[in-house]
């Protein structure tokens, strides 16, 4: 029995949900998201979405909680949005953006130019005495997570000095250096 899949999803005011036999579309003040689904039944009554499964087959059970979580994230995204913040830790590490182009100086011989998807709003914060921060905001949770992971992959935090691109609040496991 899926505990996540059985939870109902409350739809707030200003959000419209269109349920078709193969896909669901959620529209809100921040945008519109569409998700295809299969092997589950999605119904909406009184501003509440419920996801149910027709059988206890293993693949159907696995998709029950998955689609419930995806739809809940869609409703959350079009009402509030999602934000990821990345911190650049290291001497000389800089970030700046020109529209949807992110320019990163991460200690390589060249700057990294990265094009950001138009659905994502990007902001770079550079204050004297603090590490530069790249802030990504969008209504699509999957896209924000993917872009943040891609930026982090350019220079992952290393365990000895902790230099690299890390998520704000992320704890890096540190290793001891050489013992003399």
Mention every residue, 6+ apart, whose C-beta is less than 8 A from residue 116: 97, 100, 101, 102, 122, 136, 147
Cβ contact 133:87 at 8 Å: yes
The pTM (predicted TM-score) of the whole model is: 0.90
Domains present along the chain, CATH in parentheses = 3-79 (3.90.930.12), 82-167 (3.90.930.12)
Written as tens digits, the pLDDT of the chain (180 aa) is 568 888 999 999 999 999 999 999 999 999 999 999 999 999 999 999 999 999 988 989 889 999 999 999 999 999 999 999 999 999 999 999 999 999 999 999 999 999 999 999 999 999 999 999 999 999 999 999 999 999 999 999 999 999 999 999 999 999 998 886
């Amino acid at each position: 029995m899926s505990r996540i899949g059985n939870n109902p999803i409350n739809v707030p005011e200003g959000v419209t949900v269109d349920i078709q036999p193969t896909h669901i579309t959620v529209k809100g003040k921040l945008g519109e998201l569409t998700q295809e689904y299969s092997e589950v039944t999605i119904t909406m009554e009184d501003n509440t979405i419920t996801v149910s499964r027709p059988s206890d087959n293993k693949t159907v059970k696995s998709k029950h909680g998955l689609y419930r979580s995806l739809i809940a994230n869609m409703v959350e995204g079009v009402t509030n949005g999602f934000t990821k913040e990345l911190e650049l830790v290291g001497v000389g590490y800089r970030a700046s953006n020109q529209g949807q182009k992110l320019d990163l100086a991460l200690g390589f011989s060249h700057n990294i130019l990265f094009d950001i998807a138009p659905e994502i709003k990007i902001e770079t914060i550079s204050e004297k005495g603090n590490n530069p921060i790249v802030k990504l905001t969008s209504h699509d949770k999957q896209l924000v997570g993917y872009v943040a992971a891609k930026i982090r992959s350019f220079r992952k935090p290393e365990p000895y000095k902790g230099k690299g691109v890390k998520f704000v609040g992320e704890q890096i496991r540190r290793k001891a250096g050489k013992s003399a």
